[in-house]
Amino acid sequence: MDLGFVNTILDPIMNAGPLFMIFIVFTVIGLVVRLGFLKAVRNGLMIAVGFNGVYIVVDYFLGKVAPAASALATRFGGVFTYTDIGWAAFASFAWSSPWAYVIVLLSLAVNLVMIFTSMTDTLNLNIWDFWEAIIACLIVYALTNNIVAGLVFATFLAWFNLMMSDFNAQRGYCADLGFEGLSFYQGTNVAWGAFGHYVGKLLDKTGLEAKFTPDYIQEKFGVIGEPAVLGGLIGMLMGIGAGYYWIDIIMLMIALATSLVLIPMMSGIVMQALVPVSEAAGSFMKSKASGKQIYIGVDPAIAVGNTTVLATTVLMVPILLVMAFIIPGSVNHPLADLPSLLFFWVFVVAPNKFDMLRTLITTILMGIYGTFAATLGVAKWSSMVAVAQGVEVAEGTGVTSWFNHLCPEMLVAGLLGENYGKIGMAGLIAFCAVVIVITIVFRLRYLKNIKTQTAAA
């Protein structure tokens, strides 16, 4: 299949990055829901401004935490088979693949079909994060030498990820983080919201109350619970652990305090600009689709400024390093991706009612999964994709991304790919079909409950 023409058209758009897509898509949505040209452009710009502010501050946060995390890893780490080179490298591998835009088109088609058949409430606009599905496709392709098998799996992921995005939004977890009318779409890591939901229910049964929230800490301990002070304390502990000079410790304290204060402000700009779009979209859907609820799927990066998320991110750094040594058979420890794992923790804070202890328990369980996922093959399969994209590695070693270890689709893709000789295309399709049928059953039950509640009202 010659994809040169498609790549020529779409490469400049994707190379422009997510902000370009955010501005264009939200401006178009504003026009569709009849905001008017100038107001649609204004809101598109302001939403892009807010996201840009979030990305700038998050990059600042990651840039300050990453050297401390690396220092901790060097100080207490060791030599492992696979080196964590970070998610950004794998995102670049994904978007340089000739199959990237085929997966984009398939995923968008699935989204539209699901909306028109009432199988999802999410209109996903976070196209950039399709890179996860692309990498999963490349894993299947590398193991089977069958691109159709990879594309089938990537198409299945579009369905499943939308279902999981709905799960979080319908239960109010996105709204609890301050983002009413939105759902978070990233990859199959959105399924961690369901994991956090059920772990939270188990913790409820143990009697572990949602008590240690930032508000509770501030109420009991005064200024300690304020974002700036909490960020400073975490920065101090991390700097001491990394063996920093006292001046560098203070600078890290200032950096983390800055991040905890500024990210929520940037997220507020996004929400302020989204209000007229959401209201107009609601009115539009009410007139055109019998009041059908539509959540706008966006990058969960706008929610990482939550104090519990950032506190958990820093606390998990030493914990994940320790796990690499005490879990038998571990093949690597997180390095480049250590600070970036906040994009996973963001899904479990709301189900745990923002309690820091409950969230930490949940993320420790996630860390255990990630360590075993790497051992089961995700590190090896990730390295295969990297080598196929031209990365050179020494014999007996490899490269991976801890981000991939926590993406469930990478493990499933590898297991299906490695067993393709036994199950064939029919087995792969059967697996996808069974999961889709299960999600449809839950979706139909949800729609029935909504219909009953509406009739009762």
pLDDT in tens, 31-89: 877 778 888 888 888 878 877 876 787 677 767 766 776 676 666 555 567 878 778 78
Burial of 219 (C-beta count, 10 Å sphere; 0-12/13-18/19+): exposed
pLDDT at 77: 56
Is the predicted pLDDT of residue 414 greater than 80, yes or no? yes
**Residue range 5-27: average pLDDT?**
68
Which DSSP category does 99 fall into?
T
Is the predicted pLDDT of residue 292 greater than 80, yes or no? no
- How many angstroms separate the Cα of 240 from the Cα of each of 243, 247, 257, 334? 5, 11, 16, 20
* Residue of 265 and 41 predicted with greater confidence: 41
Is the predicted pLDDT of residue 203 greater than 70, yes or no? yes
Confidence of residue 431 (pLDDT cuts 50, 70, 90): very high
Range with the largest mean pLDDT of 1-10, 45-54, 153-162: 153-162
pTM: 0.80
Residue 259 tokens read as: 């991040």
pLDDT at 245: 84
**Residue range 134-156: average pLDDT?**
96
The answer to whether the Cα torsion of 389, 390, 394, 395 is positive or negative is: positive
Residue 258 tokens read as: 């800055």
Write down the domain spans for the chain.
Answer: 4-57+65-445
Phi, psi (deg, nearest 5) at residue 178: 105, 15
* Structural contact between residues 48 and 266, judged by C-beta atoms closer than 8 angstroms: no
To the nearest 10°, report the CA torsion of 195, 199, 201, 206.
Answer: 180
Confidence of residue 173 (pLDDT cuts 50, 70, 90): very high
Q: How far apart are CA 274 and CA 182, in angstroms?
A: 9
Q: Which amino acid is at 81?
A: T
pLDDT at 155: 97
Tokens 């490269």 map to which residue? 399
Secondary structure (DSSP) of 308-369: HHHHHHHHHHHHHHHHHHHSTT------TTTGGGHHHHTTTTTTTTT-HHHHHHHHHHHHHH
* Residue of 94 and 226 predicted with greater confidence: 94
pLDDT in tens, 320-348: 888 888 888 888 877 777 777 888 999 99
pLDDT at 196: 96
pLDDT in tens, 348-384: 999 999 998 899 999 999 999 999 999 999 999 999 9
Report, in angstroms and rounded to the nearest whole number, the Rg of the chain calculated over CA atoms: 22
Q: How far apart are CA 132 and CA 143, in angstroms?
A: 17
Confidence of residue 271 (pLDDT cuts 50, 70, 90): low
